[in-house]
Chain A
Amino acid sequence: MAYSSAGRLRVGPTMKWEVVIGLEIHTQLATASKIFSGASTTYGAPPNSQACLVDLGYPGILPVLNEQVVRMAIKFGLATNCKISRRSVFARKNYFYPDLPKGYQISQYELPIVSGGHIDIVLDDGEIKTIRITRAHLEEDAGKSLHENFHGASGIDLNRAGTPLLEIVSEPDLRSAMEAGIYMRKIHTLVRYLGISDGNMQEGSFRCDANVSIRLKGDKKLGTRTELKNLNSFRFVEKAIEIEVERQIEILEEGGHIVLETRLYDSDRNETRPMRSKEEANDYRYFPDPDLLPLVIEDALVDELKDSLPELPDAKRVRFVKEYELSDYDAGVLTANLETADYYEEAVRSTTVASPKLVANWVQGELAAALNRDGLDIAEAKVASAELGLLAERIEDGTVSGKLAKEVFERLWHDGGSIDDIIEQRGLKQISDSGTIEKLVDDVLAQNPTQLEQFRGGNEKVIGFFVGQIMKASDGKANPKQVNAILRKKLNE
């Protein structure tokens, strides 16, 4: 099976299928305390040490809404062209499970705080596609059930219970696993730009459910969908959808039918399997939570938050292209997360000499490689943005070659210190003195008569050999431009 030339149709053995995907992304909001209680939301505390009486669902306790989550949800809505409901309602979703202490989850159902918006995503061929956002609503997370290490019993950790979530629901506008991945990354970028979520996927702060169905090309009616639950990495989203689409095509091609159900993706076996059938699923008996009054939002708050919105990824990308004369691709990479964009801009602003393009290359090259190698976030980078700016400046002004600058960078990364000292102490300063270079060229030509003969006989390729030898003789410090110029001059004498 492969993507057709149209890019968004799947070709089965006999028919052409269109894939239809909608995502429900659960974003943990970055508040200090929980959505309805004062307990801390810090990750990784000992089990049940961050669950107060409210989170434990004690008799008589009542929820009190954390005002911060409202502000965060509004910011998200404003950043995604959504309508902010002036009146929204919290509802109870009733079901029994040991890690759901009250026997219901407080969520928003009929009247969510945010609805009816859209964002643009850039596909791999550069095409811009608009994805509609149905709604985003506030809700509390459940706790965690632990089924191992309890000798036939289950353990329950309610630290997570009551953690604020924003559930972002898209329309079924996504047409491939790849599009779903791009969309999810875009939302991830956005919530981090807005400062409303840390987006930490290992800690479960950003995860999604994917509703997947297929239909014959040209069909108006949606096929029966399955819901893939709890996908907690971009790669898993793509792989899970991919494998689920294949499964659905196979069934339909063989004349079967898709069962409306919830499925789990097993990344070890790369397969999806049924969790529970929607037909026999819980009737959640949603009804407005009588413990919470309808959430009323004043225009003044919306206006205040509108004014406080940071520059968003799309705008930043356009600005980077214009202001720093970067390619759209480079600007896209640099603005994919706010920390990288900020690092880049700080580095550029720290130098008036180095070109923004050179700085961009270094951020995407050496810096990214070092971070990746050491498993660090850019916030933990061991070369500060201003230092990277200075290093680029030293390349631009000819003090050090691009190649040796990599050594300076490594020194700086591992041992710290000042760039100029490292260049000085380690003798990495570029040789730009023409007398010294002429001497190097003369020596190399004298030492390699055979190759010189070859050149004289018309073999231009040996120039590269000479350059290599000269650079080697200078420990890589000779200014390559000058080496080239002087070598050619000498050869043509």
Chain B
Amino acid sequence: MHDRTLALLADDLAARRVSAVELTEHFLQRIEQFDAQLNAFVTVTRDEALAQAAVADKRLAAGNATPLTGIPIAHKDIFCTQGVKTSCGSKILDNFISPYDATIVSRLKDAGAVMLGKTNMDEFAMGSSSETSFYGAVRNPWDHELVPGGSSGGSAAAVAARMVCGATGTDTGGSIRQPASLSGITGFKPTYGRVSRYGMVAFASSLDQAGTLTRTAEDAALMMQVMAGFDERDSTALTDPVPAFSSALETPWQTITIGVPENFFDDGLDEGSAQAIRDALRVFERLGATIKDVHLEHVHLSVPVYYVVASAEASSNLSRFDGVRYGHRAENIDNLTELYMRTRGEGFGAEVKRRILTGTYVLSAGYYDAYYLQAQKVRQLISDDFARAFADVDFLIGPTTPTPAFGIGQKMDDPIQMYLNDIYTIGANLAGLPALSVPCGFSGGLPVGLQLIGAHLSEPALLKVAHYFQLETDWHTRVPAAYA
């Protein structure tokens, strides 16, 4: 069962070839079997999942099911889930049971998707390796000594190891695409505002966007259909109507022009990965795409701009974790200052503290103009670069990451090296563009991801191009031997 995609299983459920309870039990059994070695889950909600599956079966029988009814999924532990721990990978929320559902959680619930659990992640989504979690590092199903990428590493590993059909994730600087790339699956980040942020623990509000980790673009389209759309509880949610993502995949191929940002093929790019990307471009040429070099003038400034903007917003967003109303509170406190210092000192990990300090610094009087304001200006320049590029080409294609998966612990002492892992993905966040990563080959036996970036609200076309690529290739069907 687990070798089938979400789309195929949806057909099986609809045709009653398999029941939701059977499917749920099967995937729960795989989680039980494999998760001890992968550490992809923070919480497994076995009883709730089986109850939801039973309800799903009734809906399927009654004929009022949706394509996701009965489909086992997992949520990144950054999404609030009513009655279930929502830790964000942090000690400070280790005891936090959310009293409400995030918008996407309730939308997927309403559609009948069955939540098997909450996935592990870098603490507060700050990281590119899923090593900064309070619950320990997540391991890459392709090689347990390697990271699965991050911050949505738990979701990526869970999908790659076939422990769920699909999972939600969030992408602030590459946190869906990068782990998808390193774990050999499909990761989709929609246009900023396409999916509601309500109930998603905020890291950097102007960059955070929820999306999907699945095996295929087709699966992503099915999940997106439920997740996308305006939400009156999120002022930054887009009011644009939600297109029919799945039917867009079935439309005939049209002539497209693909831009290849030459700056993405720099010295930092692993040669095996570069070769996989070049091969992928040939697939698109065969499909009839025109390939064109483009130059994104300011994109090399993405990483510093990102670490100023994201850290500034994070320093403010994380102020609410003060031990007063929920979450961890230090014990034996004498005064207010001590309450703050010890609660936050004990509750946050090193990377989170580093970003809070960075963010506080760049917003401080005397530094605001030089850092925050300057970063916002460069952010605009980067957005303008993309806008100019999309006047000429339909999509941008390049590598998702400079290298395949790296070793656990390898970059933990070198934040800059860690940050540079997101060098190709951050641009789409700064410009609010939809982007995805699909498997496109291997380098040194490890999966390589191909990144596609589209113009604002071009999700249907973007998913379609990825879908056509997956019709022509079989990289997305590869599975780590141990999890076949």
Collect the chain A residues with CB atoms within 8 Å of residue B372's CB. 287
Collect the chain A residues with CB atoms within 8 Å of residue B102's CB. 60
Looking at the assembled complex, report how far the CB atom of A255 sits from the nearest CB atom of chain B, in whole angstroms.
Answer: 32
Expressed in whole angstroms, the Cα–Cα distance for A63 and B237 within the complex equals 12
| Cβ contact within 8 Å between A287 and B235 | no
Asked if A376 CB lies within 8 Å of chain B CBs, one says: no
Collect the chain B residues with CB atoms within 8 Å of residue A60's CB. 79-80, 86, 98, 102, 197-202
| Cβ contact within 8 Å between A53 and B234 | no
Looking at the assembled complex, report how far the CB atom of B418 sits from the nearest CB atom of chain A, in whole angstroms.
Answer: 24
Asked if B274 CB lies within 8 Å of chain A CBs, one says: no
Looking at the assembled complex, report how far the CB atom of B38 sits from the nearest CB atom of chain A, in whole angstroms.
Answer: 26
Identify the closest chain A residue to B198 (Cβ).
A62
- The interface size of chain A toward B, counting residues with CB under 8 Å, comes to 28
Asked if A102 CB lies within 8 Å of chain B CBs, one says: yes
Asked if A285 CB lies within 8 Å of chain B CBs, one says: yes
Collect the chain A residues with CB atoms within 8 Å of residue B98's CB. 58-60
| Cβ contact within 8 Å between A94 and B363 | yes
Asked if A368 CB lies within 8 Å of chain B CBs, one says: no
Identify the closest chain B residue to A64 (Cβ).
B235
Identify the closest chain B residue to A56 (Cβ).
B325
Expressed in whole angstroms, the Cα–Cα distance for A430 and B75 within the complex equals 87
Stretch at the interface among A171-179, A259-267, A290-298, A457-465: A290-298
* Residues in B329-365 with C-beta less than 8 Å from chain A: 336, 340, 360, 363-365
| Cβ contact within 8 Å between B96 and A96 | no
Of B79, B86, B325, most buried by chain A (CB within 10 Å of CB) is B325
Looking at the assembled complex, report how far the CB atom of B71 sits from the nearest CB atom of chain A, in whole angstroms.
Answer: 24
Q: Mark A280-320, 1 if CB is under 8 A from B, else 0.
A: 00010111001111000000000000000000000000000
Asked if B326 CB lies within 8 Å of chain A CBs, one says: yes
| Cβ contact within 8 Å between A156 and B324 | yes
Expressed in whole angstroms, the Cα–Cα distance for A184 and B331 within the complex equals 46
Answer whether A59 and B336 are a contact pair too, CB < 8 Å, given A65-B235, A98-B322. Answer: no
B96 partner, pick from A59, A65, A293, beta carbons under 8 A: A59
Expressed in whole angstroms, the Cα–Cα distance for A156 and B323 within the complex equals 13
A291 partner, pick from B99, B100, B205, B232, beta carbons under 8 A: B205
B205 partner, pick from A96, A103, A156, A290, beta carbons under 8 A: A290
Asked if B470 CB lies within 8 Å of chain A CBs, one says: no
Stretch at the interface among B29-37, B51-59, B311-319, B475-483: B311-319
Expressed in whole angstroms, the Cα–Cα distance for A333 and B98 within the complex equals 55
B99 partner, pick from A57, A58, A64, A92, beta carbons under 8 A: A58
Answer whether A64 and B233 are a contact pair too, CB < 8 Å, given A59-B93, A94-B319, A287-B316. Answer: yes
| Cβ contact within 8 Å between B235 and A285 | no
Looking at the assembled complex, report how far the CB atom of B370 sits from the nearest CB atom of chain A, in whole angstroms.
Answer: 14
- The interface size of chain B toward A, counting residues with CB under 8 Å, comes to 44
Collect the chain B residues with CB atoms within 8 Å of residue A17's CB. none
Q: Mark B34-64, 1 if CB is under 8 A from A, else 0.
A: 0000000000000000000000000000000
Asked if A61 CB lies within 8 Å of chain B CBs, one says: yes
| Cβ contact within 8 Å between A285 and B316 | yes
Collect the chain B residues with CB atoms within 8 Å of residue A291's CB. 202, 205, 235-236
Identify the closest chain A residue to B237 (Cβ).
A62
| Cβ contact within 8 Å between B322 and A96 | yes
* Residues in B215-256 with C-beta less than 8 Å from chain A: 232-236
Collect the chain B residues with CB atoms within 8 Å of residue A63's CB. 235
Looking at the assembled complex, report how far the CB atom of B91 sits from the nearest CB atom of chain A, in whole angstroms.
Answer: 14
Collect the chain B residues with CB atoms within 8 Å of residue A92's CB. 316
Asked if A193 CB lies within 8 Å of chain B CBs, one says: no
| Cβ contact within 8 Å between A287 and B322 | no
Asked if A468 CB lies within 8 Å of chain B CBs, one says: no
Expressed in whole angstroms, the Cα–Cα distance for A53 and B102 within the complex equals 12
| Cβ contact within 8 Å between A285 and B363 | yes
Q: Mark A67-106, 1 if CB is under 8 A from B, else 0.
A: 0000000000000000000000000101010100111100
Looking at the assembled complex, report how far the CB atom of A35 sits from the nearest CB atom of chain B, in whole angstroms.
Answer: 12
Interface of B, helix, strand, loop or mixed by DSSP: loop
Expressed in whole angstroms, the Cα–Cα distance for A79 and B315 within the complex equals 39
Expressed in whole angstroms, the Cα–Cα distance for A407 and B364 within the complex equals 69
| Cβ contact within 8 Å between B316 and A103 | yes
Collect the chain B residues with CB atoms within 8 Å of residue A156's CB. 324
Collect the chain B residues with CB atoms within 8 Å of residue A98's CB. 322, 324, 336
Expressed in whole angstroms, the Cα–Cα distance for A92 and B100 within the complex equals 25
| Cβ contact within 8 Å between A285 and B80 | no
Identify the closest chain A residue to B92 (Cβ).
A59
* Residues in A239-294 with C-beta less than 8 Å from chain B: 283, 285-287, 290-293
| Cβ contact within 8 Å between A59 and B235 | no
| Cβ contact within 8 Å between B235 and A102 | no
| Cβ contact within 8 Å between A103 and B319 | yes
Looking at the assembled complex, report how far the CB atom of B53 sits from the nearest CB atom of chain A, in whole angstroms.
Answer: 26
Looking at the assembled complex, report how far the CB atom of A37 sits from the nearest CB atom of chain B, in whole angstroms.
Answer: 10
Of A61, A104, A285, A293, most buried by chain B (CB within 10 Å of CB) is A285
A101 partner, pick from B86, B202, B234, B325, beta carbons under 8 A: B325
Asked if B468 CB lies within 8 Å of chain A CBs, one says: no
Identify the closest chain B residue to A97 (Cβ).
B336
Collect the chain B residues with CB atoms within 8 Å of residue A292's CB. 235-236
Collect the chain A residues with CB atoms within 8 Å of residue B200's CB. 60
Identify the closest chain A residue to B105 (Cβ).
A60
Collect the chain A residues with CB atoms within 8 Å of residue B234's CB. 62, 64
Expressed in whole angstroms, the Cα–Cα distance for A287 and B375 within the complex equals 13
| Cβ contact within 8 Å between A58 and B326 | yes
| Cβ contact within 8 Å between A59 and B316 | no
Expressed in whole angstroms, the Cα–Cα distance for A32 and B99 within the complex equals 25
Answer whether A285 and B201 are a contact pair too, CB < 8 Å, given A59-B86, A64-B232, A64-B235. Answer: no
Expressed in whole angstroms, the Cα–Cα distance for A140 and B375 within the complex equals 28
Looking at the assembled complex, report how far the CB atom of A11 sits from the nearest CB atom of chain B, in whole angstroms.
Answer: 39
Looking at the assembled complex, report how far the CB atom of B342 sits from the nearest CB atom of chain A, in whole angstroms.
Answer: 13
Asked if B290 CB lies within 8 Å of chain A CBs, one says: no
Expressed in whole angstroms, the Cα–Cα distance for A290 and B202 within the complex equals 11
Identify the closest chain B residue to A92 (Cβ).
B316
Across the A-B interface, give the 7 residue pairs with the lowest CB-CB distance, nearest first.
A103-B319, A285-B363, A290-B205, A290-B206, A60-B199, A59-B201, A57-B320
Query: Known pairs A58-B320, A290-B313. 10 more at Cβ < 8 A?
Result: A53-B99, A53-B100, A57-B325, A58-B100, A60-B80, A60-B197, A61-B198, A94-B363, A103-B318, A290-B205
